[in-house]
Amino acid sequence: MIEFADNTGLKIQLAYYPPYHSKYNPVERCWGVLEMHWNGTLLSSVNKAIKWAETMTWNSVHPAVHLIDKVYQNGVKLTKEAMKICEERIERSGNLPKWDVTIEPAFR
């Protein structure tokens, strides 16, 4: 996200949802709508799941559905030195330091 802020010149504010608070997370709420839409349908293939997702509506809008087949690495971690550099760029909220951070773009 730091690299994205620097490349775009955008100030980024990230607000994280604490664990077990999915009712406030719009992505989780979307999953709930999708589960009700499927209504127990057996999703026996990726293609079938994509087709079902494409037919869903939320507030009369159909979602844009794309299959991403890229394999992401698990367990990728920064070294302590690299994390220290990142932490210097992250401004944490005084009230919610674990859940609300701001990243300012670097001036070039």
What HEC string does the chain produce?
Answer: CHHHHHHHCCCEEEECCCCCCHHHCHHHHHHHHHHHHHCCCCCCCHHHHHHHHHHCCECCECCCCCCCCCCCCCCCCCCHHHHHHHHHHEEECCCCCCCEEEECCCCC
Q: What is the pLDDT of residues 31-79, one digit of tens each?
A: 777 788 888 888 899 999 899 889 888 788 888 899 999 998 888 888 9
- Residue 78 domain-assigned (yes or no): yes
- Decide: 80 and 87 in contact? Cβ < 8 Å: no
Instruction: Give the bridge partners for 101, in sequence order.
Output: 14, 92
- What confidence tier does 16 reach under pLDDT thresholds 50, 70, 90? confident
- Residue 108 domain-assigned (yes or no): no
**What is the domain range of residue 29?**
2-103
- Residue 35 domain-assigned (yes or no): yes
Structure pTM?
A: 0.54
**Domains in the chain, number:** 1
